[in-house]
Structures are given as structure tokens and as C-alpha cells.
Amino acid sequence: MKHLHQHHAMQEHEMQKHQHHNMQHDKHEHNHDQPVEDAEIKSWKRKLIWSWILTVPIALLMLSERIIGMSIIPMPYSVFLILILGFPVVFIFGFSTIRGGLQGLYTFYFNMDSLIALGTVIAYLTGIFSFTGAVLDYSGVSAMIMAFFTTGKYIEAKARGRASQEIKKLLELGAKKARIIRGNKEIEISIDEIKMGDLMMVKPGEKIPTDGVVVNGESSIDESMVTGESLPVEKLKGSNVIGATINQDGILYIKATKIGKDTFLSHIIELVEEAQGTKIPIQKLADKITSIFVPTILLVAILTFFGWWFFSSELSIALGTAIAVLVIACPCALGLATPTALMVGSGMGAKRGILIRKGEAIQTMKEIKIIVFDKTGTITKGKPEVTDIYSKIKENYVLEIAASLEKLSEHPVARAIVQRAGLKKYKPVKNFKVIRGRGVEGAIGKNQVVIGNRTLMKERKISLNDFEKKVEQFEKQGKTTMIVVENKKIIGIIAVADAVKEDSVKAIGLLRANKYRVVMITGDNETTAKAIAEKVGITEVIANVLPEDKAKKVEELQKQAMVAFVGDGINDAPALKQSNVGIAMGSGTDIAIEAGDLVLAKSSLIGVVQAIKLSKATFRKIKQNLFWAFAYNVVAIPLAVAGFLHPVIAEIAMALSSITVVTNANLLRRERV
């Protein structure tokens, strides 16, 4: 620890010396995954190019024999040349495939590479043994097999790269530098040097370096790049801010609360990566089939070899037919069917703010019949807003008076009133006092102003008179009503409520139109709950539910059908875990996000509708891919066994089946989600 502090102290004293180093380190840090992804694509591209450079002359030599009946280069020199050109293709560029395949055979762990490895090695060895005159030369086939296989691997890597473009875009969002206050000095450091608790200063137009809480200043923040929210969000003292978002119009002093991999942005990237690496139930089934399929094909190839050898007495023909069986049966397409579709699907989801945290959610989501919503922060915005102003005088005057007084309060209701007023200049207030749990009071000029609830009015013996009915009306709607009094006379009332998100009505309407059963569950009282439910079109409400009982309610509903739960708070985590698919709001707590299978980064309920569509579209592609992969093998293997397919033709067919599956998976991008 001591060493760490010394290190940072040294960095502060030698800022100029380390500036270049920090820039380089920063660049590496923020593009962590991009070079890895690109390196894989570049590696396969390099292997592909060199494989074909060496394989094309081999193909020409083989074709010349078939078309004109004689080799361009006389025997045995042509075989020597094929063996020399083919060696790097098979044993250098295809080394990982050969090693993995042969190890699988040795350990009885059969995989897709097993058949390719066996087919290419046997084919290459025929070239060597052809000099004995015992077998025909198929060594050229080995190079062509590996060249096509490498092409398939490059396409797969490319598809994976395309699916990760959204991640790369997210990585690029982060700030590169931070301006921090240390020892009353303002210094500029790279992002990776920020420590927990550092005080950051962010000027208008600058990116917020990392997640934190505002300790001083007020501003509006553009959070669209992270949350998708188009309107700027007002930030005051105590507000949480997200790294990579843009400060717009005021200087903010922010205390760093999360750094490195703990930030919101890093968490989103992690979630997408998790989803792309997970296996869904149908993929596990495909893997199980492959583990049985490969040894079966090995047995078929052995029987084919001995069958042809017995009936034809031609070792070369028997060997060539067996090689064709091994090659044609390679289940590459089967292995690619699910991951490619899942990668494309998760990439499409990320682009729309739907982060698939657990891959199995893709398969489960399409089976959902009941969707349960938490209220606060899920259906509603999770923060109070002024909904109504009622007065018998000018509303602007009532709002101006109220905002000038509430400006001095930190209460969420007070903030809502101040935000609604949006004044550039407030009236000066004297003798300001907070009356805890009831309201505030103070003097504006010669007038004594009191703002509070019914209880405060009773205490001050202020009669509601004509305002009584309006107060009751607002309260029935589940709104908090603040009564504004000037010199012991009511001048107006301001109703504040947790406003419904703009798109909640649309999203719930779409779900109900598609025959989904929609339920709202909340800890709020029944009056408030039903008022909100009515606004958004929900008829089934479960109110007064304790946090620990939410999961039990979900469990009860699961006895009737598959349930998806949508929530955002710590209290929602058990219900998110209990449900068949847990959908967490991106604006929610870390615990809720961890408990969710899907995360809606935009915190919009339209994301639920999109997630269902994406699930159905992705799974449809997976089923199509698996069908084509199986259909190809059902047709091709008997043809190979019957001797109708030359090993080269078999390899071309195998490569085309893999390309078909990858292409079909990428067609998912055309789906309207």
C-alpha cells in the first residue's frame, strides 16, 4: 500500500515526464477488447490468404490431371511439389485444428475438429505412401480441405467481430483524461490513475471521467450515449453521474465512486460479452449430438473403408471414399448454428439497449406468458415531478413563490417544484425553516409564506375552504399535495407525483395486444398503485407487498405460466432471480442488474417488447440453422458412402454448409425488432 502511494506521489511530481506514457496506457486500457478481436480476425485472414496462395497451384495441378488427362509437371515431381506446398497449409496454418482434433481422438473427447484433422492427415499421408505404388495420391485434397476450413473460420471470426462492434463502440465512449483536485491543485491525469474518492472537476462540454456523485455545482447531463435517453438530465448536489456522459452547461465537482471495471459502462460491456459466451439449452443439445455424431461417423468411415476395400480390392478407392465421408460429415455447420445466431442476436440487442446477460434467456423469453412489472423506477420515472398546479390567481406567481422557498430545501418534492419553475432568478428568502415531515416556511419581502401538507395546515389553523375538494381529488390519484399559503391565506396547491415514463403506456398496450398477461406489483398503498395502473392500462394490481414477498408472488404466478419480472431496485433482486426471465432496468441498482437475465440499458419498457421480438427472431434463426446443418448431413453422408463424392467436392460442400449457416445468422440483422 505504501509503495502504491509513493508511486502516485511520484506521478504527481513528474506529470510531464509521464504524460506520453499515460496517453499510451490509456489508449490500451480503453481499447482493451478491440485489438484482441481484431487480432483474431487478422490472424485468420493471414492464414486464409497464405493457404489459398499455396493451394491454388495445387488445385491447378489436380485439375490439369482431370481435364487434360496429364499433369503440367510430370510425376513424381508434381507429388513432391504438392507435398511441399501443402505442408504449411495443413501443419502450420492448420496446426491448432490438427492438434485439437487429434487430441480429441486420443482422449475420446470428440469434437468438430476430430474429423477434419483425421481427414487431412490421412489425405496428406497418401501422398507420401503413393511412392510405394500401394495407394493413389490424395495429398492435394488435404491442402484444399484445410484452405476451405480456414475460410470458414475466418468468416466465423468476422461474424463474431461484427457482433462485437457494439462493444467496441461502447469502449470508445469513455473519457481519456480526468481533471482532479489534489492538495488544492488542479491536475490532469489519465483515466486509469483515478482513485476512489478523488474529486474531479468537469467543465461544460467535457465527458465525465468515471461514475461518481456530485458534491458541488449544478448542470444538465447528456446521458444519451449510455442510456439512450434523448433529453438532458438535471444534476444537483447529491446526484449520481455516469462515466462517459457529457456535462452540458455548468461546472461540476464530482467525487469518484466507481473506477475501472466497476463503472456502469464497463458493466454493460461485461454483460454483452457474457451473453456472447454463454450456451443456451439448445446449444448444449447440439454439443451433445456432436459428441455422439463424431464417433458414429468415424465408425461409418472405417466400415466404408473396409467395405470398399473388400468389394473393389482397390486400397486407393477405399481410402478416398473414407476420406470423403470424414470430410463431408464434419459438423462445423452444426457447431456454428447456435453461437453465430446468438452472437448476432446479442449484438443487435446491445445496439437497442437490450443487454443479454444470460444466453438461455433468448430461448426462455419466447415462452413467457405473464409479465410482472415493479412500479417505482420501472413503470414510473422513480423521481417526483409536478403534475398539477391549482390556483385562483396566476399560476406563475404561485410557482415563483413556492420555488423561491423550496430552493433552500433538499427534499425530493422541493426539487420537483424548483425544477418545474425553472427560474433564472429567485426571490430572496429570510428566516427559512424546514418543518420536518410537514413542509417549509420563510419570509419573502413582507409576506410570510408557508408550504406544506394537510397536517401543517391543521397545526397553523389554516382552513382549506374551496381547496378541500381539489386536495382530495389529487390525493385519490396518489399524488402528494403541497398547499401554498401567503399571510395565512391559501393562494394555490401544487400536486407532485412519481410521473409515468412516456413510453410505459405504449409498451404495456403492445404487450396486452399480443395477449400477454400484464401484472403490476408494488409496496405502495392500493390507492396510489391503482391510480398508476389505470394510467398505463394495467388491470391486475398487487399492492402493499413487502420486498421479501415479491419473489413469493412471482412463484405463485409461475404455477399458472412462465413469468418475466421487470424491476430496478435492490428489493426486486429476489423476484428477478425467482422469475423465468428477470429483466433489470439499466438505471437500477447493481444488485438488481446482477440478478437480471436481461438488462434494459435505456430503462424503457419498449425494451421488453423488443426483447420478446429479438428472442423469437434469434431462436427462429437458430432452428433454421440447425435444420440446414442436419439436412446437409442427412443428404451428403449417404452420397459419400456410396462413392459419389470426391474428397475435394466433399470439402467444398462442407465449407458451403458452414458459410450458409453463418450467412443465415447474419440475415437476422434484417429483422425488425
Torsion of CA 444, 447, 452, 458, to 10 degrees: 160
- Say which residues have a Cβ less than 8 Å from residue 354's Cβ, sequence separation at least 6: 598, 599, 600, 601, 607, 610, 611, 614
Amino acid at 116: I
Q: Give the pairing of strands 233-235 and 439-444.
A: unpaired
Q: Which of 253, 267, 175, 259 is nearest to 213 (CA)?
A: 253
CB atoms within 10 A of CB 7: 10
Using left for φ > 0, alpha for ψ between -120 and 50, and beta otherwise, residue 571 falls in alpha
Q: Are 199 and 215 in contact (CB under 8 A)?
A: yes
Catalytic residue (choose from 26, 374, 498, 568): 374
- Residue 584 β-bridge partners: 567, 599
Q: Are 223 and 229 in contact (CB under 8 A)?
A: yes
Using left for φ > 0, alpha for ψ between -120 and 50, and beta otherwise, residue 214 falls in beta
Chain CA centroid to CA 461, Å:
57
Q: Is 374 a catalytic residue?
A: yes
The dihedral through the CA atoms of 406, 410, 416, 421 has a sign that is positive
d(CA 46, CA 150): 10
Q: Are 256 and 210 in contact (CB under 8 A)?
A: yes
Q: Are 579 and 565 in contact (CB under 8 A)?
A: yes
Q: Give the pairing of strands 380-391 and 199-202.
A: unpaired
- Say which residues have a Cβ less than 8 Å from residue 190's Cβ, sequence separation at least 6: 22, 23, 25, 26, 176, 177, 178
Helix (H, G, I), strand (E, B) or coil at 509: helix
- Cell digits for 445? 419581502
Beta-sheet strands, E only, within 510-612: 517-521, 540-542, 563-567, 581-585, 598-600
Beta-sheet strands, E only, within 476-572: 480-486, 489-500, 517-521, 540-542, 563-567
The DSSP H or E segment spanning 474 is helix 468-476
Residues belonging to the chain: 673
- Residue 603's φ and ψ, nearest 5 degrees, are 55, 30
- Cell digits for 266? 464497463
In Å, how far are 111, 241, 244, 259, 440 from 236, measured between CA atoms? Answer: 58, 10, 18, 21, 20
DSSP state of 206: P
Helix (H, G, I), strand (E, B) or coil at 547: helix
Helix (H, G, I), strand (E, B) or coil at 313: coil
The crossing angle, in degrees rounded to 10, of helices 77-87 and 33-67 is: 170
Q: Are 59 and 82 in contact (CB under 8 A)?
A: no
Q: Are 331 and 149 in contact (CB under 8 A)?
A: no
Residues with a known catalytic role: 374
